[in-house]
Structure formats: C-alpha cells, structure tokens
Amino acid sequence: MTSRSNERWCSDAVEFTCWNGEIVRVAFALDSHDREVISWVATTAGISGEMIRDMMVHCVEQRFADIRAPRKVQWLTDNGSIFAAYRTLEIAAALNLEPCFTPIESPESNGMAEAFVKSFKRDYVRVNPIPDASTALQRIDQWMEDHNSEHPHFRLGYRSPREYIASLKPAECPV
C-alpha cells in the first residue's frame, strides 16, 4: 500500500459472461492507497489501446482537474499489449504517468487490482441479474459508484473509498 493517494494507480481488465452468453469486458484504474476506482471502460468487443489511453486521461482529469499530473504517478499494470503499446507509453509520459509492469505470468504482483477483480465478480456480477450485455453495460456505472461510495474495505477501516478520502481532508473552519 502506498502512503498517500495519487502515488500509484493500478489497472487491469476483467471479463464476464452474461446469461445469454454475451461477454462483457471492463478495464479499470484504481488508486492503490484509497482504493477508489478512478475510471473504467466497458465493452462487448475487445478493450483497445485507445480505450486505455482515454482512461488514463480521465484519471488525470478526475484526480488533478488538469491535463497533466503535477508529479509522477506510477501506473501499475500487467504486460498486456493494450497497456504496453508504444502509443500508450507516449500518452503516459505526456500525462506524467510512470508505467510500471508486473513480471510476466505474475498477476499477484498487481494484487490490489486482482483483489478488485475478485470482489467485483463476487459482490456485483454474481449477485445481480445480467440477462444480456446491454443490461450489464447499463449497470456497471452503478456498481462502480457503489464500490466507491458504499463498499467497506478492511484496509480503510471498513470505510468506503470516498468515506476514507473525505476523512483525510481537513475540516473546514466554522468561522
């Protein structure tokens, strides 16, 4: 775990099958400290490098309200071609993101992302009716919002990511 938010973001992808056999793929980026899912993309096709690059831009905009991070942020992911593509590395540099790759065939090296995949499937995919991809794609936003606002995390003192983030901000002066 990092010592503060916006030091390392980890990214990965997950796929699941709907009841009718359609496959949905989701890529996400979450903060390694506060566990908030900062950005995600979902599709019934393959996840493209362009989708990952757009997600990187969205992360920087969400966290810094700017087009470039004010300091280096590690971007931890596996060696998948969508993450390691030359154009993706160029965009990462322009955004002040420092790509960090896990060793080949070592998904546990990105344990936080792997843990999110496990809880995403357990707490959302398996317990909700997902008759088809259209339904799944409509629900993913709600699931991510629930994860960020309601889902308690052991490492965050059983608070949701947003509750944890709010606890870090100094209280406003009442005067």
11 pLDDT above the threshold of 80: yes
| Tens digit of each residue's pLDDT (9 = 90 or more) over 91-121 | 999 999 999 998 776 656 678 899 999 999 9
> Are 148 and 161 contacting, i.e. CB atoms less than 8 angstroms apart?
yes
pLDDT range class, residue 10, cuts 50, 70, 90? very high
Domain boundaries, the chain: 8-163
Cβ-in-10-Å burial (0-12, 13-18, 19+) of 104 comes to: exposed
Domain 8-163 is found in CATH 3.40.190.290: no
Percent of the chain exceeding pLDDT 90 equals 82
pTM over 0.85: yes
| Tens digit of each residue's pLDDT (9 = 90 or more) over 35-50 | 999 999 999 999 999 9
